[in-house]
Amino acid sequence: MNGVLIYITRDGDRWDTISHKHYGTVFEIDRLIATNPHLPLAEQFASGLTVFVPVIEQKMNNQQEDMPPWLR
């Protein structure tokens, strides 16, 4: 893990919507839950809760490795 982002919930946020917003997929819910044991395992969150979103490093494919750094 390379650090965390802090996200403040809005009414109606859910684990899957937060995962999709930050990772582009709903399949990182387990990562979010593990990083946020202070949050309830609720279907929806109230606004104003602090969610720690782990920053994950993406692996580059071969095409990206051939690009200059400013285009990656």
* pLDDT one-digit tens code per residue, 28-51: 999 999 999 999 988 999 999 999
pLDDT of residue 57: 78
pLDDT exceeds cutoff 80 at 64: no
Provide the 3-class DSSP secondary structure of residue 52: strand
pLDDT at 56: 87
Residues 6+ apart with CB under 8 A from 53: 4, 5, 6, 7, 18, 22, 32, 35
- What is the residue extent of each domain of the chain? 4-71
Q: Which residue has the higher pLDDT, 23 or 69?
A: 23
What SS3 class is residue 63? Answer: helix
Binned at pLDDT 50, 70 and 90, residue 22 comes out as: very high
